[in-house]
Structure 1
């Protein structure tokens, strides 16, 4: 196969992936009146698939739920989504998740993510923008009937559930979060 053709095709796929990622992020970047409903429904779906998440929700100091994150990449990738932050049972902030990555990856997907905070210290790190996952960080993928031993690491536990697409990379390393308090 022609090397020049492969380069052009790869570049085109990369552009399409970024366009998809940014257009999806633009759609969810503004306030969305359905965000609370979407967040509650997605978390309920995650709990239905893995019942042990209910215990995390009940005992957590707080949590952040991102019902729809769009991720795309071809060597260089990005992800973005909007979610809500809860302290106890109250919404205290909206949040944006962003991620950039470089390395062996190809494709695109949409997924949901919930981050549980074990204590006030972990919550405050998130709130101040100091919670960042390193390159080796990964989340526990939620699958139907999964039964694994889940635990907090550094005061946080992260769970993801794929909604669609195919991505040959599954890490949360490099994620950054905003914290915009509810007025």
Structure 2
């Protein structure tokens, strides 16, 4: 049986290590760009259909590493870059707070494909854009066959991939994206 003190201590240590592993202190622009390049290449090689999706999109926000941890109260944090025509135009952080039945920690990557100019403009002009109802999830297994029906349905398509660790689910609902200066 695990004591409450041990469980709380472990959760605190997990959150601290998650923040360190995410490179919270020292994520300059060159580091973020290098991670985005690796993430984009992984995505295109692992899920070939995403290359065409990126070409059809008005912009793609790549979040190479999001660290999420929780024990009743949890959160997630990551940094990435918005690319338009494969050139970085802005840097963003993603943050999420959760409360409820949860325990564990995980890391994952995700990409948001902006399929309309309006969706991209709204994202870029907002003070802090929150992922919500206008987001359509693509399942990683569909990455090789994301088709016309997917790209015509939603102004923003989210693909979550590369999960490691254990926590129930990896969704972007409630995640707030904020422009940063690395």
TM-score above 0.5: yes
Name the counterpart of 1:103: 100
| Match for residue 30 of structure 1 among 18, 27, 32 | 27
Q: Tell me if the contact between 1:132 and 1:175 (Cα under 8 Å) persists in the aligned partners.
A: yes
Distance 1:138 1:12 in 2: 37
Q: Tell me if the contact between 2:136 and 2:156 (Cα under 8 Å) persists in the aligned partners.
A: no
Q: Which has the higher helix share?
A: 2
* Unaligned stretches of 5+ residues in structure 1: none
Name the counterpart of 1:156: 156
Shift of 1:124: 1.8
Name the counterpart of 1:133: 131
Shift of 1:116: 0.6
- Matched position secondary structure for 1:71: strand
Q: Tell me if the contact between 1:21 and 1:79 (Cα under 8 Å) persists in the aligned partners.
A: no
Moved more, 126-135 or 59-68: 126-135
| TM, length-normalised to structure 1 | 0.82
| TM, length-normalised to structure 2 | 0.82
Q: For the aligned residues, what is the CA RMSD?
A: 2.8
Residues 1-183 of structure 1 aligned to structure 2 (within 5 Å): 1=1, 6-25=3-22, 27=24, 30-127=27-124, 128-129=126-127, 131-134=129-132, 139-143=137-141, 147=145, 151-152=150-151, 154-180=154-180
* Unaligned stretches of 5+ residues in structure 2: none
- Matched position secondary structure for 1:16: helix
